[in-house]
Amino acid sequence: MSKDINAKNKDMNTKTAAAQGSQGARSTQGDSVADAIIKTQDLVKTYRKGKIETRALRGVSMEIPRGSFSCIVGPSGHGKSTLMHLIGGLDRATSGDVSIDGISYAELSDNELSELRASKIGFVFQFFNLLQNLTALENIETAMMFNKNGLHSAKEQRARALELLELVGLSEKAHAKPYELSGGQQQRVSIARALANDPEILLMDEPTGNLDSKSEDEVLDQLLYIHKTGKTIVIVTHNTEVSDRAELLYEVRDGRLNSVTRKGVTL
Ligand SMILES: Nc1ncnc2c1ncn2[C@@H]1O[C@H](COP(=O)(O)OP(=O)(O)OP(=O)(O)O)[C@@H](O)[C@H]1O
Ligand SMILES: [Mg+2]
């Protein structure tokens, strides 16, 4: 993490505290949530391929509270993964902005954005994305290698990776390669890997999309447990077992935020 981002971070924390002090904490999604860790502002993403334009996002403004368990739902092809990629800084918006803890992506260089991502965000994808020739333990360790602020010695990294495997209940599979693991176990390794740099935010795109119902339950239990440790969890899902557990549901339709509900109540 560069000094620049740290400075922006500190500045923002002070501003957030000041804002809360003067306005008091507001708890609904209306114009502002009490403590939003993620904000998007009029986010637009248009993909262009030759003469073909796809307007995947048409102006999404949303706020996701710190420490929440939120789901993004909506029909296939309506922009959910696109939104997730932009929130995660994996891709740039056509216009509009994303900010995390008040740090605006639009103001960051590509390198700064990568640093911010490495330190604040963990990703879990539908197809696990584990490196097939590495063991569970090694897959987790690789995630720590690129984090400048992270653990340095190989010994520290190993200890942390073992701790994370224990957290997801897979200590006995530390030396197994992905093909020796069930789908649910592979996804739990992916979750452990996403937590490697102790990010505040976990972003997941269909984390239970390729799992049978038993593995799905395993992964959901794991996520609820991790949520209790204070992480902000945002999940794109078609799975109602998962979205039923969400504190906040953001529905994306036709590239727009169609509704936000909290425990069934529209905000
Ligand atoms: N890299 C890309 N290049 C061109 N078009 C894209 C690209 N990625 C997504 N799209 C298009 O943008 C639109 C939104 O896609 P997106 O993947 O965000 O949908 P989704 O809501 O995640 O769908 P699903 O539920 O099926 O995963 C779709 O029309 C899709 O074809
Ligand atoms: Mg998708």
Do 160 and 197 form a contact (C-beta atoms < 8 A)?
no
CA 14 / ligand 2 centre spacing (Å)? 36
Residue 105 has pLDDT above 90, yes or no: yes
Pocket test for ligand 1, best of 53, 54, 76, 251 (most atoms within 8 A of CB): 54
Other Cβ atoms within 10 Å of 213 Cβ, number: 11
183-192: pLDDT as tens digits: 889 989 999 9
Residue 21 has pLDDT above 60, yes or no: no
- Output the DSSP codes for 222-259: HHHHHHHTT-EEEEE-S-HHHHTT-SEEEEEETTEEEE
Q: What is the DSSP letter of 105?
A: G
* Amino acid identity for residue 257 in this structure: L
Do 97 and 180 form a contact (C-beta atoms < 8 A)?
no
Q: What is the DSSP letter of 167?
A: H
Average pLDDT, the chain: 86
Residue 202 pairs with which residues in a beta bridge? 122, 233
42-67: pLDDT as tens digits: 999 999 999 999 999 999 999 999 99
Q: How sure is the predictor about 148, in pLDDT bands with cuts at 50, 70 and 90?
A: low
Residue 30 has pLDDT above 80, yes or no: no
213-266: pLDDT as tens digits: 888 888 888 889 899 999 999 999 999 999 999 999 999 999 999 999 998 788
Q: Convert 1-19 to b/e letters by CB count within 10 Å (16 or more is b).
A: beeebeebbeebeeebeee
Ranges of each domain in the chain: 3-12+34-266
pLDDT of residue 264: 78
d(CA 157, CA 66): 27
Q: What are phi and psi of 110, to 5 degrees?
A: -60, -40
CATH superfamily name and code, 3-12+34-266: P-loop containing nucleotide triphosphate hydrolases (3.40.50.300)
pLDDT of residue 218: 83
Residue 233 pairs with which residues in a beta bridge? 69, 202
76 lines ligand 1 (CB under 6 A): yes
79 lines ligand 1 (CB under 6 A): yes
Residue 203 pairs with which residues in a beta bridge? 123, 234
Nearest-CA residue for atom 31 of ligand 1: 77
Q: What is the DSSP letter of 136?
A: H
Q: What percent of the chain is helix, strand and coil (3-state, nearest 5)?
A: 40, 25, 35
